[in-house]
Structure formats: structure tokens, C-alpha cells
Structure 1
Amino acid sequence: MEIRPARPADARTVVPLIMQTSEEVAHILTGTQERSKVIAQLAHFFHQPNNRLSYQNTLIADIDGQVAGMVISYFGADAPRLDQPITAYLRQLGLETVLEKEADNDEWYIDSLAVSPYYSGRGRPRTEIR
């Protein structure tokens, strides 16, 4: 298994993993309940730099060229800057959403952590996290 930085091209496999971590949060961050629109907007955020869901904040667990899992994380002090593109998007939709501060400035925050259903229960990604 290789742990590597995510690339924009990983969106196709990472976005379902983001949804897997919390559909409710995905609906809040995208401003919609419609699954196809949620997926499209999450992919857009993932492709863009400098936001909490960006490929830049994502590490991939890669097994034989397949995405086995992912983690999105960032420094707590960066959260307001990383949330700005998302809150700006929500304001464009007419939604006033304040994203909750989830980490202190001096903490490293794990936003999302997921294992691909294919690899779930096989132990390899869990072993790598340790």
C-alpha cells in the first residue's frame, strides 16, 4: 500500500468516499439534497485548490493503483480560509451557512476518513493508519 497526495483525477473515487463519511454534512456543504447535484458540487470543490474538500488536503491509500481509502485533513488555523470558498458558494445560493469551527488553531484536524467498501474489513488501510 502506498500513501500519496490526492490528484484532481481522483475525484471520481474520492467523492463517493466523502459522501460515505457524512451525507448530511455533504448536503450542508453543497446546499442541496439532490444526490446528483451534491456529487457534482463535491467534485467541483475537490478539483479546486484552497478549500476544505480540495485534493490539496487529501491523502490517498492506494493499493495496486486502486483508491483503498482517503483522509482529508488540515491545520485548524487554516479552517476559516479553507471554508471561505464554500461559504461564498452557499451565499450565491441565498443560503447563510456558518460552518462550525471544529478545531483549535494549533490542532491538526481530520475532516473526513473513509475506506473503500471493497477494502473495508480487510485490515490493510487500518494497519497503515496506525
Structure 2
Amino acid sequence: MHTEEAYRWRKQAVLGLVLIAVGTVVLLDRLYYIDAGAYWRYWPLLLVVVGINQTIGYPSPREFGNGLWTVFIGLWLFACFNHVFGLTFRNSWPLFILAWGVKLVFQPLVARRFAQQQSALKQPENQHEG
């Protein structure tokens, strides 16, 4: 349970830091100290940070999967906005089909790995009871 509490706290802290960063940039833009338009193309990287945060110390396979999807979408949006490798919204949509297939292949593996971790964590507790 301690791991879940730490995960939730970290998730909330990262979200708070992201909101502070976005709020600061918008405020400085509105006060004419910076031109936030120059940074607009980097906003998908915030999704990558949030997604990585979801995958570290994940309390469930679902949270881990959601984190990977968030990272994927952030990287895809960044690549499309900045034309990385020539990707645009028009020519990169098949990546979603590819990612969906990868998800279907790896989902049972992640679930099995998570089940093994849970049983390993519960095993020492059971030994102290006996």
C-alpha cells in the first residue's frame, strides 16, 4: 500500500509542477516578458513527462498502459507539429494501428509481470504470518 501512496503523491506532484510551469509561461506571455508562441510547438513534451510519470512505479497494468499511450501520443504530436522524420497528421495515422497492435501483444506480458511482482511482494508477508 505504501507504494500506491507514493505513486499517487508523485503523480499529483508532477501534475502540479506541470500546471505551475504552464501557468508561469502563460502569465509571462500575458505580461509581455516572453513570447510564448515560440514555445507552443513543445507542449506535447509535457504529455511525455506525464506519461513517463505514470509508468514509473505503476500500481496496476492499466496505469502502466495508460502511461505508455500518453507518451506515445505526446511523441506523435511533437513529431507531427515539428515534422520530425517528415511526419504529419496526414501521413502518420497508421502509427496508431501499429501502436494498437503492439499494445495487444504486450498487454498480457505486462499483466503477467505485474502479477508476479504482486505475488513476490505478498510472499514475505505470508512468511511472517506462519
TM-score for both structures, normalised by structure 2 = 0.30
- Structure 1 or 2, whichever has the larger Rg, is 2
Task: Give the structure with the larger strand fraction.
Answer: 1
- TM-score calculated relative to the size of structure 1: 0.30
Using CA pairs below 8 Å that are at least 6 residues apart, which structure has the higher relative contact order? 1
